[in-house]
Structures are given as structure tokens and as C-alpha cells.
């Protein structure tokens, strides 16, 4: 036997110690302190371990993997590193405590006015986050113009009733509920405040959503009483405001942010839709409605800017034919930006849980006391 046989024998404790130097870029603490590392296995020179992310839609997953791998590879004697992943989304307990919803987070999508692409964005974000592996529900709370089912190709379907609960309709891995499922087509829905409130409450209590990581709520356009009342029907983890870059729309962003602030709902960010156009023949970029408006408003209001989505006829066609662009053309500029905004949104929710009082971790996630 060679006398140096055990010289570079790797210990599990060494692996943990090393991973304790790898910082989670968004949460700014190391992986071990965050309790994200488990299942460390040492088999000679081959190391396996698991990293539990705070969302399956983690934008920094590759970076975290690279850094963790590089750190462990640097331990003398290590030749192979296998990084495994899973995710445990932190939980806003108020959803269960107050409205008995088994959803870990609820996010409302608002806009100052109609036609900015709020529903398009909400639908694509929901589908994208679901494709990343999260359990996602989409509540179409735009009772005046409920068009989410159309956008996701499930218009005309009727939800089933099981055990006296309404089952949401499934589309692209997302559980969808909409007033459009319950009213006859072409029949205008006229609601007064209390009825509205009642309808949404029913969507929360009478629908069997099952367990969700994220419930995304598409609010009616505007920031008036109806929107306020809706947003109050459930404890919202956070809110998102969708805008276009025109000055008139940007003035409305301030109102949207103001609405969430009034409700003490953290603003997770502003999304600028129809920001620019890339000519398909030349690849030139045209900023038809001006430049940088959404970013400036976000900065001025002290809220995050989540990203820009270009104008793309495929987005519009997809909306009409029920095929969201994140499915039809995920690598197109619009598809890519929607996917990346979905991940940023999920990451912002994780960060919020780390910093905000009144939030607590799910029992098996010990990153917050
Ligand atoms: N980035 C985009 N590029 C092209 N068309 C878009 C884009 N975003 C939205 N649209 C189209 O604009 C119209 C309005 O979008 P919608 O999501 O219904 O707006 P809102 O919910 O704010 O009223 C729809 O026809 C939609 O397909
Ligand atoms: Mg809409």
C-alpha cells in the first residue's frame, strides 16, 4: 500500500466548511448559514451535495452551481463534484391564516390603464415560472374583461366541480380560474363593489387551488375603488405594476405604486411592456415610445425595475391563439425577457421574505427565524 494513501482523504466537514464560503448572490449570506446545503456525500474523490434554492425559478442557479462547484473542486483530493438542486419556496403564512389558501405567495399584477399588456404579462409570467418547476395559480380577477382563458387556450372550458369545490382549469402547467369560465360569452358583467368582493372571495374559498408556490392575480386595469377592494380581498405578498413607456402611462405607474403602498403591499417591481421594436429584417432596435421611462419612474419611486419586453407581433398572435410566447418562442427577445422577468420576480419574493417582518419560513426552511 502506498504510504500516502489517506493524504487527501476528503471529509464531509471540509465540504461544508468550503460551501460556507460561497455567498448566495441575492440573499447575501453563505449557502450553509442559509441552510441551503444538504445530503453531502463523499465517495473517495467524488462529492455529491444538494442545494435547496428558495425558488425553482432561480435566476442565479447557474452562478450558484458554478461557484459551489469551483469551491469544492479546490479541496485537495476532489476530482468530481455533482451538484443536485431542489427548491423550497418561502411561505407568506397570512394566506393560509386569513383566507385558508394553501398558497405560499400571492402577487397582484396591476396597471394604471388598460391595454398595456397586463394580462399578457401576467399569463406569460405564470406559465414561465411554472415551466421552471414552481406550482403556479393564475386568478383572472379582471371581471370586466376576463381574457386570460383566451390567452392560454382554455376559453370555452368549464371548470369541474369536485367535493363541492370548483377545480381550476389547467393550462401550460398553470391552474387558471376566471370569471370567463362562469359567465356566458358576450354577456357583459356588471358588478358593484360588494358583489365584486364576493366574487373574488369565492374564487379564493370555493376553488380547490391545491398547494401553490405562487398565486398570480391579474387585477382589472386602473387604480380605483374596484381594484383597491379586490386587492384587499386577500393578503398580497407583493404587487407588480405593468406599464408602457409613454409619459401618460408612466404617470399611471405612480398611481399603481401608490395603490399598493396605501394597502401596505410591497411593490416587487415595475415591468415596461412594448418597450421597443426589433425590426425582423434588419435587427435594428426602435424605441418608438421613448427610452428608459419605466426605469426612471421606478428609481424615483424607490421600487425595483423588473425589466422590459419588446413589441413583438408573436406576442399578440399568441394571445389570440392561446399560445403564450414563453411557450411558442421562448428564445425570442420577448420570450426571453418574460422568462427572465419571471425569475427576477420569484427572486424578489425570496428576498422579501428574508427582510420583511411578519413573514416566516415554511417549517422545514430555516433561513428565517
Ligand atoms: N409585447 C407585446 N408585443 C405585441 N403585442 C402585445 C405585447 N403585449 C401585449 N400585446 C397585445 O396588446 C393587447 C393588449 O394586451 P392585454 O394583455 O390584453 O392588455 P391589458 O390586460 O393591459 O388590457 C393584446 O392584443 C396583446 O396581445
Ligand atoms: Mg387584461
Which fold would CATH assign to domain 94-355?
Rossmann fold (3.40.50)
Q: Inform me whether the pLDDT recorded for 93 exceeds 90.
A: yes
> Ligand 1 in contact with 319 (CB < 6 A)?
yes
Residues around the ion ligand 2 (C-beta < 5 A): 119, 142
Q: For position 248, what pLDDT does the model report?
A: 75
Q: For position 334, what pLDDT does the model report?
A: 96
Of all protein residues, the one whose alpha carbon is nearest to atom 15 of ligand 1 is 117
pTM of the model: 0.91
Q: Inform me whether the pLDDT recorded for 131 exceeds 80.
A: yes
For the chain, domain boundaries? 12-87, 94-355
**pLDDT tens across 66-79, in order?**
999 999 999 999 99
> Ligand 1 in contact with 114 (CB < 6 A)?
yes
Of all protein residues, the one whose alpha carbon is nearest to atom 26 of ligand 1 is 316
Q: Which atom of ligand 1 is nearest to the CA of 334?
A: 1
d(Cα 237, Cα 268) in Å, to the nearest integer? 9
> Ligand 1 in contact with 116 (CB < 6 A)?
yes
Q: In 3D, which of 199, 205, 238, 231 has the Cα closest to residue 96?
A: 205
Q: For position 361, what pLDDT does the model report?
A: 42
Q: Which residue has the cell 431542489?
A: 86
Q: Are β-strands 37-43 and 46-53 bridged in parallel, bridged antiparallel, or unpaired? A: antiparallel
Pocket test of ligand 1: the residue of 148, 316, 325, 329 to mutate, having most ligand atoms within 8 Å of its CB, is 316
Q: Are β-strands 285-286 and 106-111 bridged in parallel, bridged antiparallel, or unpaired? A: unpaired
- Region of poorest pLDDT, from 98-107, 269-278, 290-299, 351-360: 351-360
Closest ligand to C-alpha of residue 308 is 1
243 or 232: which carries more pLDDT confidence? 243
Contacts of 129 (CB under 8 A, 6+ apart): 57, 136, 213, 214, 342, 343, 345, 346
d(Cα 199, Cα 189) in Å, to the nearest integer? 12
Q: In 3D, which of 32, 132, 87, 115 has the Cα closest to residue 344?
A: 132
C-alpha distances (whole Å) from 93 to each of 34, 109, 352, 360 are 20, 20, 14, 7
CA–centroid distance, residue 135 to ligand 2 (Å): 22
Q: Are β-strands 305-311 and 165-166 bridged in parallel, bridged antiparallel, or unpaired? A: unpaired
d(Cα 365, Cα 36) in Å, to the nearest integer? 9
User: Are 12-87 and 94-355 in the same CATH fold?
Assistant: no
Q: Report, as an integer, the average pLDDT of 104-122.
A: 95
Which fold would CATH assign to domain 12-87?
GMP Synthetase; Chain A, domain 3 (3.30.300)
Percent of the chain with pLDDT over 90: 70
d(Cα 221, Cα 201) in Å, to the nearest integer? 19
CA–centroid distance, residue 139 to ligand 2 (Å): 12
CA–centroid distance, residue 246 to ligand 1 (Å): 15
CA–centroid distance, residue 316 to ligand 1 (Å): 6
103 or 182: which carries more pLDDT confidence? 103
Q: Inform me whether the pLDDT recorded for 239 exceeds 60.
A: yes
Percent of the chain with pLDDT over 70: 91
Q: In 3D, which of 104, 63, 325 has the Cα closest to residue 214?
A: 104
**pLDDT tens across 314-368, in order?**
999 999 999 999 999 999 999 999 999 999 999 999 999 988 644 444 333 333 3
Q: For position 366, what pLDDT does the model report?
A: 33
Q: Which residue has the cell 460556507?
A: 20
Q: Are β-strands 238-243 and 174-178 bridged in parallel, bridged antiparallel, or unpaired? A: unpaired
Q: In 3D, which of 152, 207, 185, 165 has the Cα closest to residue 320?
A: 152
Amino acid at each position: 500500500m502506498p504510504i500516502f494513501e489517506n493524504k487527501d482523504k476528503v471529509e464531509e466537514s471540509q465540504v461544508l466548511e468550503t460551501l460556507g464560503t460561497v455567498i448566495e448572490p441575492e440573499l447575501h449570506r453563505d449557502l450553509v448559514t442559509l441552510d441551503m446545503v444538504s445530503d453531502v456525500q463523499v465517495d473517495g474523490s467524488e462529492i455529491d451535495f444538494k442545494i435547496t434554492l428558495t425558488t425553482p425559478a432561480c435566476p442565479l442557479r447557474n452562478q450558484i452551481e458554478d461557484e459551489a462547484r469551483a469551491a469544492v473542486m479546490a479541496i485537495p483530493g476532489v476530482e468530481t463534484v455533482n451538484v443536485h438542486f431542489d427548491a423550497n419556496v418561502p411561505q407568506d403564512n397570512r394566506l393560509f391564516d386569513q383566507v385558508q389558501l394553501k398558497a405560499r405567495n400571492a402577487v397582484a399584477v396591476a396597471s394604471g390603464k388598460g391595454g398595456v399588456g397586463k394580462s399578457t404579462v401576467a399569463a406569460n409570467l405564470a406559465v414561465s415560472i411554472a415551466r421552471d418547476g414552481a406550482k403556479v395559480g393564475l386568478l383572472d380577477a379582471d371581471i370586466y374583461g376576463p381574457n386570460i382563458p383566451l390567452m392560454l387556450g382554455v376559453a370555452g372550458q368549464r371548470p369541474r366541480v369536485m367535493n363541492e369545490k370548483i377545480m381550476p382549469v389547467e393550462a401550460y402547467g398553470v391552474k387558471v380560474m376566471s370569471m370567463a369560465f362562469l359567465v356566458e360569452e358576450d354577456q357583459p358583467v356588471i358588478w358593484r363593489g360588494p358583489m365584486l368582493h364576493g366574487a373574488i372571495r369565492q374564487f379564493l374559498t370555493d376553488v380547490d387551488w391545491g398547494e401553490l408556490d405562487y398565486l398570480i392575480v391579474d387585477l382589472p386595469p386602473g387604480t380605483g375603488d374596484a381594484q383597491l377592494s379586490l386587492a384587499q380581498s386577500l393578503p398580497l405578498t407583493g404587487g407588480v405594476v405593468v406599464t408602457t413607456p409613454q409619459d401618460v402611462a408612466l404617470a399611471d405607474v405612480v398611481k399603481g405604486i401608490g395603490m399598493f403602498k396605501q394597502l401596505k403591499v410591497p411593490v416587487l417591481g415595475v415591468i415596461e411592456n412594448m418597450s421597443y421594436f426589433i425590426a425582423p429584417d434588419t435587427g435594428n432596435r426602435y424605441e418608438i415610445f421613448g427610452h428608459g421611462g419605466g426605469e426612471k419612474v421606478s428609481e424615483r419611486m424607490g421600487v425595483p425595475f423588473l425589466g422590459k419586453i419588446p413589441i413583438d407581433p408573436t406576442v399578440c398572435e399568441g394571445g389570440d391563439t392561446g399560445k403564450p410566447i414563453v411557450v411558442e418562442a421562448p428564445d425570442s427577445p420577448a420570450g426571453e425577457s418574460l422568462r427572465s422577468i419571471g425569475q427576477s420576480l420569484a427572486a424578489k419574493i425570496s428576498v422579501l421574505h428574508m427582510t420583511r417582518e411578519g413573514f416566516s419560513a415554511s417549517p422545514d426552511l430555516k433561513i428565517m427565524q
